[in-house]
Amino acid sequence: MCYCGGLSQEYRAFLYGDTTLTASNKPNFEEQAARLDRKVFELQALMKASDALHNELDVKELTSLFMAMVRERSNVQRMAVILHDPDIKAMVVQAQMGLDDGLVGKRFPAEDGILWRLLRAGEPFTVTDISGRSRFPHIFVEHDLEGLDAQLWVPLVMPGRVVGVLSMACAQTEQDVGVFDPDDSFLSALASQATVALHTALLYQSIAVARRELDRSLFQISMLFDVTRAMGAVTDLTELLQIILDRAIDAVDAEKGSLMLLDEETGELAIRVVFGLPDKQVERKINSGEMLCRRFKPGEGIAGRAFMENRTICVDNTAADGAFTERESTNVHSIICVPLNVDDGTIGVLNITNKRALMFAGKPASGEEPGADRSFSKDDQDILGALADQAAIAIARARLYEAAITDSLTGLYVRRFAWHRLKEEIKRVHRYSGRLSIVMCDIDHFKRVNDTWGHAVGDAVLVSVADALRASLRVGIDIAARVGGEEFLLILPDTDLVGAAAAAERLRIYIQKNKVKIDDGDDQMVTMSFGAAQFDLKNGEESEVLVRRADVAMYEAKNAGRNQVSVSPMPSS
């Protein structure tokens, strides 16, 4: 390869045999060769440095690499890179070397003025005068940037755009005697290459952020669509609450959670469903209503505060938060409480606890330890907030539906809904050739209870019986309804007459053992009479006929002395 293009006239003459050169103008060939070798080396070094800069797309790593290259070349030990953020119209300290870490993140406005004009001009300039005082005190003092100890600024500019500036600090020690030489072509070229690389990295960063935002939005929309579709198909309130809680925990990759609803009679927050308890049997009993949990008043604990203040509250360290009660903070390291709002007010609180790992589009972020406790992010709060908005509407609708189909005193289904469900079960038996039985039951001598102790005790008896029925039936399968004053109907799918009679006998014994307390402190024993009947599929029996047969069997039990079970035999063909 020939490098003659940049050689002096004397060197050219020597190369081409000009013998008229004298000793005075004879070139120093060794010096020329050394200079040429240095130029070639610097060109190769610049190419390597340029490759390294352009191959790095992480802004933090790129600024560190750039400063390390400048230090190696100039021996300047203290410097900082300040980047222009057009979104906030400010210059922000991105990275530092040899200075205080507290400088990173500090900023000053990117507004037109002498300093901004100097930056746009693109030529290095000093920011201190000959006495060492700042030329721009309104920037360095007012914005707490004196720690930069800046002496020389090297603008990092592209045509029509200020990317940033390299701030070079004053010499502080004998070893820190380096200086950025504006006439050093290598440093100038390095700064130009770094400017382009930083501009590319910033563009990549903004695109990556936008893509994350898009992915997060798509994930949120997809999740809300799935949840809305699932909630729209569910009318049972408990099942709906479990779906909401399950989706919420999955959405933010948490360990467990609970959902509280306001009890309008007491004004307290009652835990309706839970998920993630170590004891699954306890979890099942809580969700089925067999076991009651502690209630919270508005303003009590984090959940109560979120309800009362109607705002999302996130606590990353419950041990350090004085608002937690001892019971509430047990096995809870972090928690986010989101109020459930409808038009007429707040109806409950969604509580999600113990974030497991950072999430990205519904999946754990790379490099995260599985199961590691993490703080809930702003994205988590946004997702749960959107989910809570949809959930509150679905819950309000389900509660209205539940109020329409349940008895206000006992919480059991009302007569009309029971007939509707019975007809549905009969259709299912016809379709799949299954089995179906019902049990009619009536409280013995209930009128005597009302006449002797009053209707308050009578109501207590009805509630006690309803609780016994719920506790004894299969959750999600059997159906219990109050069809008269003291008369109840049990619908037992996939159960023959023998099974129905056995279930009725278990109920009879259970109710007899569980006495009801009355005002004077005495216990009142309650008994019931039962009549069981199995649906006659072979003869295509109507629902009214089935109910009539069970009702007749129940009165046979009463006529036989009460507190017993009677069965209606299957009709003959």
* Catalytic (active-site) positions: 486
Which among 88, 111, 69, 93 has a CA at the least distance from the CA of 148? Answer: 93
- Residues facing 491 on adjacent strands: 438, 479
* Side-chain half-sphere exposure of 218, counting CA atoms within 13 A: 8
- Residues facing 93 on adjacent strands: 82
* 275: phi then psi, degrees, rounded to nearest 5: -150, 140
* Side-chain half-sphere exposure of 143, counting CA atoms within 13 A: 19
**Is 372 in a helix, a strand, or coil?**
coil
CB atoms within 10 A of CB 283: 17
Q: Round to the nearest angstrom and report the end-to-end CA distance of the chain.
A: 111
Query: What is the C-alpha to C-alpha distance for residues 571 and 573, in angstroms, rounded to an integer?
Result: 7
Query: What is the C-alpha to C-alpha distance for residues 400 and 89, in angstroms, rounded to an integer?
Result: 52
* 363: phi then psi, degrees, rounded to nearest 5: -125, 150
Pairing mode, if any, of strands 363-364 and 359-360?
antiparallel
Query: What is the C-alpha to C-alpha distance for residues 254 and 373, in angstroms, rounded to an integer?
Result: 9
Pair 395, 470: CB distance under 8 Å:
no
Look up residue 411 and give its two tokens.
Answer: 């919480």
Query: What is the C-alpha to C-alpha distance for residues 449 and 468, in angstroms, rounded to an integer?
Result: 18
The torsion defined by the Cα of 442, 445, 449 and 455, in degrees rounded to 10, comes to 40
